[in-house]
Amino acid sequence: MGTVVDAAIKVANGSAHTNKKVTVVFVLGGPGSGKGTQCSNIVEHFGYTHLSAGDLLRAEIKSGSENGTMIQNMIKEGKIVPSEVTIKLLQRAIQENGNDKFLIDGFPRNEENRAAFESVTGIEPEFVLFFDCPEEEMEKRLLSRNQGREDDNIETIRKRFKVYMESSLPVIDYYKAKGKVRKIDAARPIEEVFKAVKAVFTPESEKVAA
């Protein structure tokens, strides 16, 4: 779909490069906006590989590494993990995967993330899929999902909303100015949201006039 971006992906040791042509779509939206659910649908229908920045960070925490302990402490505080940590995890995931189409979910979280990602990887997103959802609805969803996640309590949720509002919206504004934002009303039922998502991912040539 659209143009394919040339990406110079640095390998973990930083000494060699692998030239890999990839299409990247950034998936942004507040905590509880339904990004994960919709990413699963996109993977199933359009063949993308879903990379969740949050899942990669949680996997690093579970690994018990020193990096993981630092990440855990920052998440508890509702702070943003340093760009280089997340970018390294994303690079490794892209590099080790055989696919060439990726959804990057929950990243970039701020302008510094965005600039560092484009600078380090050479990748500019095809577009940004933005799930727009009112804070009250997101809070309700997070409190009811009860997945046993340590960061799903009311105090931390409100910290995460504050961080999201202050940090992520400038990223959305940046890509909006470049005509790369596809905004989805995420407060609607899952099926209706995916209908709107499908319209974004279906190439014009494949859309049949009603």
- Residues 23/5, Cβ–Cβ less than 8 Å: yes
| 106 labelled binding-site residue | yes
| 36 labelled binding-site residue | yes
Pairing assessment for the beta strands 101-105 and 17-29 based on DSSP bridges: parallel
| 35 labelled binding-site residue | yes
| 109 labelled binding-site residue | yes
Question: How many CA atoms lie less than 13 Å away from 99 in the CB half-sphere?
Answer: 14
| 130 labelled binding-site residue | no
| 108 labelled binding-site residue | yes
Structure tokens at 83: 């760009």
| 158 labelled binding-site residue | no
Task: Using DSSP, state whether 70 is helix, strand or coil.
Answer: helix
| 37 labelled binding-site residue | yes
| 80 labelled binding-site residue | yes
| 160 labelled binding-site residue | yes
At 202, the amino acid letter reads: T
| 145 labelled binding-site residue | yes
- Residues 11/94, Cβ–Cβ less than 8 Å: no
| 65 labelled binding-site residue | no
| 141 labelled binding-site residue | no
| 205 labelled binding-site residue | no
Binding residues: 32-37, 58, 79-81, 106-109, 113, 145, 149, 160, 188
Binding residues for CMP: 113
